[in-house]
Chain A
């Protein structure tokens, strides 16, 4: 009898504590929706499609933040995806065995650096470097594109995108590497047996086989980039404007919250900032779910293979 009693309560207590995590998540969505209600009611869908952000007149439109977030994240993907694929290919297929462990350890170190330190490095090392060397170069040779025109501030969307790309490379490359490692050896051997060079083996057998997983890794990296706050806040220049030039200062959803939340004086201002947060929440939620599903699809495919 006593054993039964203890075990029943053991199960109840742990179940209760496990469910409290669900409760916390629901509470988070609820409190944010409630606080954002005021702004939602006042501005409706226009909130997402207008670009005036004026705390004094209490007119709030979040379009510049959406724009800044999307541009910096896409720029980060543009740089990070090819580089990560290269790293993953090198680590999984080409590198001598004694290099693999230390090199992947070094790349994972990048993921452990706190984002405020990325920001510090961005302000004092990366931004001056870009202002002095990279931005004049880009203007000189690609200045006919609107992307590379305007003043060299150092801080701006280009700097933010580059920092973000460095921050998401470890995520994308380590997931890609794992996806490559589950490609059955028979695939590689089949390609090699047909006379393929090592690169052709990678292209045909490895990359072709793991397309879904790579997409999952990229989307996971995108989720990281969208929500990254501190490093971006420190180098993006913080100006709520939409500008075609990558050199221009801008604002992202996360960085406007970081900068203005503590000093939001009126209820409507606070509510508008929380609504920006709510948008960010749902976007990252959807993106993470898609990424998980894609990666999960790859691993379940492998399990099926093993059972055969």
Chain B
């Protein structure tokens, strides 16, 4: 009789431990969100959005240049990474069912898997060294490389999910494969692809490491795109490790803005999917 009791007790114990693991993980989540929201809200004000950083030692000022800088960097990255990613995805879905396609997939996985700071080194050697200046374009190059694998693999997955009958129906009408792919298949898969793009943007919005020695950061408005530019994550980093209380306050405010941007992107992407189409979300 005794062995049954032991087995039941062990069962109870292990099930409780599993539950505790789940609860334990929620503790840092709640703590991080709690601190970012409360510290962020108590330190955010209109100045934060409207003003440049004040000189060292002066209280006040804001991160307007960093917020705009981040938006510019994200826009520039999208400009080259999205077309390349989608084209690569079309290639993988339409013509990539061979060794060459496997090579491309492998390369995308490599780019996706390596630490983002290495992509910063890559952009540094490719842009900063020849141009002899930290610049917005080098930062956008680095962020774009981080976007490409996500956009590409999502595009591929979404295109392959479009029923073959739709593709065949289009081809049966006598249009060429280019039109069939772009106007019919791509259009059908567009919400899914858009989700992938938004997720990629959400990821690069928070990236700091690849910008450290490409975009570098800037305490003023950037002059042009070949000069250093400020970015929100960089500013948060610089303020967090600084010794000034007022800068710590602004770091929390910046963190709140950043987390709102990142989660807005994720939520919108989930929403697009739920709203109109029944495509599964990409992982």
Contact = CB atoms under 8 A, between A and B. Distances in A.
Interface stretch (A106-114, A140-148, A210-218): A106-114
Interface in B258-280: 258-259, 262-263, 266
Interface size class of A (residues with CB under 8 A): 35 or more
A35 interface: yes
Given A14-B94, A21-B104, A103-B22, A166 B28 contact: yes
Nearest to B210: A229
Interface in B152-186: 152, 176-178, 181
Nearest to A261: B213
A112 B121 CA distance: 24
Contacts of B21: 82-87, 90
Interface stretch (B47-55, B56-64, B234-242): B234-242
B98 to A, nearest CB: 11
B111 A21 contact: yes
Interface string B209-228: 10011001000000000000
Contacts of B96: 18
A285 B14 CA distance: 36
Given A21-B152, A24-B145, A31-B122, A117 B206 contact: yes
Contacts of B120: 261
Contacts of B7: 197, 200
Contacts, number: 240
Nearest to A18: B91
Interface residues of B, number: 84
Contacts of B95: 11, 14-15
Given A6-B178, A17-B88, A197 B8 contact: yes
B113 A22 contact: no
Interface in B189-205: 202, 205
A28 B118 contact: yes
A112 B20 CA distance: 23
Which of B8, B91, B94, B101 has the most chain A CB atoms inside 10 A of its CB?
B91
Nearest to B117: A229
A7 interface: yes
B87 interface: yes
Contacts of A124: 35, 240, 248
A24 B17 CA distance: 46
B25 interface: yes
Interface in B229-249: 233, 236-237, 240-241, 248
A78 to B, nearest CB: 14
Contact of B118 (A125, A166, A169, A281): A281
Interface in B8-30: 8, 10-11, 14-15, 17-22, 24-26, 28-29
B15 A198 contact: yes
B110 A32 contact: no
Interface in A185-204: 197-200, 202-203
Nearest to B256: A117
B118 A94 contact: no
B206 A35 contact: no
Interface string B102-131: 011001111101111111111011100000
A123 interface: yes
Contact of B237 (A83, A119, A292): A119
Contacts of B116: 227, 229
A130 interface: no
Contacts of A121: 31-32, 35-36
Contacts of A85: 21
Contact of B25 (A117, A169, A281, A288): A169
Contacts of B19: 86, 90, 94
Closest 6 CB pairs of A and B: A114-B206, A86-B21, A227-B115, A18-B91, A17-B87, A197-B11
Given A21-B111, A234-B237, 4 more contacts: A18-B92, A107-B29, A117-B259, A280-B115
19 contacts: A18-B92, A18-B104, A21-B104, A24-B111, A32-B118, A35-B125, A83-B21, A84-B21, A115-B209, A116-B208, A117-B32, A120-B36, A166-B25, A227-B116, A228-B115, A229-B117, A234-B237, A277-B118, A288-B114
